[in-house]
């Protein structure tokens, strides 16, 4: 994503003296590309779907030692969906894995805090 922000025509321009690459993209578009940490989509996904996972684990009593595998599947399905959102952000080159990992941690912390207050 950053390559296309910095070089919208797809061609690199080099400084003849220093041999450094000159970024020819629009300054506003480049600045927007630097605002990727943490991933907002990932943090919101993990916050909402993480809360849903906590809620579902309480409703189906997933950890009562009499559980079935189906209970765990119900609990971890929202987490899997949030992880798919996170992977899509990296796969589409919108974020680095560090941005997505930090967003996921923030989302899970918020979800846990909100559920424990609930």
Alpha carbons 4 and 57: distance in angstroms, whole number: 43
Same domain membership, residue 112 and residue 78: yes
**19, 66: one domain:** no
The one catalytic residue among 34, 68, 95, 96: 95
Predicted pLDDT of residue 2: 63
Catalytic status, residue 95? yes
Query: 21 pairs with which residues across the strands?
Result: 14
Same domain, 92 and 42: yes
Of 59, 60, 79, the residue nearest 68 (C-alpha): 60
Q: Are residues 25 and 67 in the same domain?
A: no
Q: Are 82 and 46 in contact (CB under 8 A)?
A: yes
Q: Report residue 67 as tokens.
A: 């559980």
Residue numbers of the chain with a pLDDT score lower than 70: 1-5, 10, 15, 29-30, 33-36, 67
Q: Are residues 30 and 66 in the same domain?
A: no
Give me the domain span that covers residue 4.
1-35
Question: What is the pTM for the complete model shown?
Answer: 0.69
Question: Which of the residues 34, 41, 68, 96 is marked catalytic?
Answer: 41
- Residues 66 and 108 occupy one common structural domain: yes
Tell me, yes or no, whether 42 and 82 share the same domain: yes
pLDDT digits (tens, 9 = 90+) for 5-37: 677 776 777 767 777 777 777 777 667 766 667
41 is catalytic: yes
């Amino acid at each position: 994503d950053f390559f296309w922000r910095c070089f919208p025509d797809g061609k690199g321009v080099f400084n003849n003296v220093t041999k450094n690459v000159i970024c020819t993209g629009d300054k506003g578009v480049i600045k927007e590309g630097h605002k990727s940490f943490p991933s907002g989509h990932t943090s919101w996904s993990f916050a909402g779907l993480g809360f849903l996972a906590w809620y579902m684990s309480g409703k189906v009593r997933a950890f009562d030692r009499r559980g079935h595998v189906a209970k765990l599947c119900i609990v971890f399905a929202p987490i899997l969906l949030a992880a798919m959102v996170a992977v899509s952000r990296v796969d589409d080159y919108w974020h680095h894995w560090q941005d997505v990992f930090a967003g996921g941690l923030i989302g899970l912390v918020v979800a846990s805090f909100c559920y424990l207050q609930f």
